Amino acid sequence: MKRALITGITGQDGSYLAEFLMQKGYEVHGIKRRSSSFNTDRVNSIYEDRHESDARFFLHYGDLTDGSSLTRLLTRIQPDEVYNLGAQSHVRVSFDVPEYTADSVAMGTLRLLESIHQAGLPCRFYQASSSEMYGSTPPPQNELTAFHPRSPYACAKVFGHQLAVNYRESYGLHASCGILFNHESPRRGETFVTRKITRAAARIKLGLQDKLYLGNLDAKRDWGFAGDYVRAMWMMLQQDTPDDYVIGTGESHSVREFVELTFSYLDLDWRRYVAIDPRYFRPAEVDHLHGDPSKARRVLGWTPEVSFAELVVMMIESDLAELNRTLKGGPEAMRAAVGVGD
């Protein structure tokens, strides 16, 4: 049985990847951060009591900012595959907490790679690189496109990416980087623009909210479905030779188009509800990301299965269903479900 270790297992991608690997018969270990409240919502459905003799899913406390925890877990678990998905992944927030972002995203990757190297582990390594690394470089972007990062997050991702390449070249580590364009799902964090839009539109439809405040509606992104993208991560680690791959749909849409599609699906006129709050503008914006995934198609045989329109509908329907469940729980449940943060 193959054993995988996932950093960031409690996040959107970590949860889809854990499910995917469990279905493939892996023993899955994940690193979760200490939090003052439960942070395992996304993996609760696959949680297994570790006292059961056939348990294949294990969570361990650890943190990318704590090298000793990484060394201890790697040595104890001896994984065949390590997926480094943990990160402070919010681009705008990275301008508010630049040091922490660099510590977890850039230095965290260094700590993990160096622990693997020092322990002499013969494992394969996946690095969650990002299309944000391209920043202001014009589209379409592929594996040969120059990086021009536009945020502390993106700068930290460039560091992590180059480092994974360097450990591959210096020590022969089987390290592959997935340069993933934006990917979303019903499990997307509530403060990323897609989920913020579908969640707010569903609340407006049910009469629970009047307005949705957004920033730059002109930004364009190549949005795919997270479930499709974790499959690509796994495919990269099954290759004999490690390499770097762009993963995207090859289509891009503006934030305005995402808003229009969402509100029209719910028979709402978005202009009545959406307002601009400059607070959501970024000190430096990434205007247009549009991936060219032809290498992944050619070498890995990977193609996305969920279209842009299907993704939008999937997210709206999920938010509507969740709200309807919460509404049945009465005012107490409603208050608990609102959440704060933008």
- Annotated active-site residue 132? The verdict is yes
The partner in contact with residue 216, picked from ligand NAP, ligand F7E, none with C-beta cut-offs of 5 to 8 angstroms by kind, is ligand F7E
Q: Are 46 and 22 spatial neighbours (Cβ–Cβ below 8 Å)?
A: yes
Report the distance separating Cα 215 and Cα 255, nearest Å: 9
- Annotated active-site residue 130? The verdict is yes
The partner in contact with residue 221, picked from ligand NAP, ligand F7E, none with C-beta cut-offs of 5 to 8 angstroms by kind, is ligand F7E
Report the distance separating Cα 116 and Cα 106, nearest Å: 16
Q: Kindly state whether residue 93 participates in binding ligand F7E, applying the rule CB under 6 A.
A: no
Active-site residue (options: 26, 126, 153, 167) = 153
Task: Name which position in 72, 282, 295, 297 contacts ligand F7E (CB under 6 A).
Answer: 282
Stretch that binds ligand F7E, among 114-122, 230-238, 242-250, 279-287 (CB under 6 A): 279-287
The partner in contact with residue 14, picked from ligand F7E, ligand NAP, none with C-beta cut-offs of 5 to 8 angstroms by kind, is ligand NAP
For the chain, how far is it from start to end, CA to CA, in angstroms?
Answer: 42
Amino acid symbol at 64: L
Q: Kindly state whether residue 249 participates in binding ligand NAP, applying the rule CB under 6 A.
A: no
- Annotated active-site residue 153? The verdict is yes
Write down the least CB distance from residue 206 to ligand NAP, Å. Answer: 25
Say which residues have a Cβ less than 8 Å from residue 238's Cβ, sequence separation at least 6: none
**Cβ neighbours of 308 (radius 10 Å):** 20
Whose Cβ is closer to ligand F7E: residue 187's or residue 221's? 221
Q: State the alpha helices, DSSP H only, in the chain.
A: 12-23, 67-77, 91-96, 98-102, 108-119, 152-171, 193-205, 226-237, 255-265, 294-295, 308-328, 330-338
Return the structure tokens found at 165.
């390449």
Whose Cβ is closer to ligand F7E: residue 100's or residue 192's? 192
Whose Cβ is closer to ligand NAP: residue 112's or residue 316's? 112
Report the distance separating Cα 20 and Cα 26, nearest Å: 9
> Which residues lie near ligand F7E (CB under 6 A)?
89, 91-92, 130-132, 181-182, 191-194, 196, 214-216, 219, 221, 255, 280, 282, 285-286
Show which residues are catalytic.
Answer: 130, 132, 153
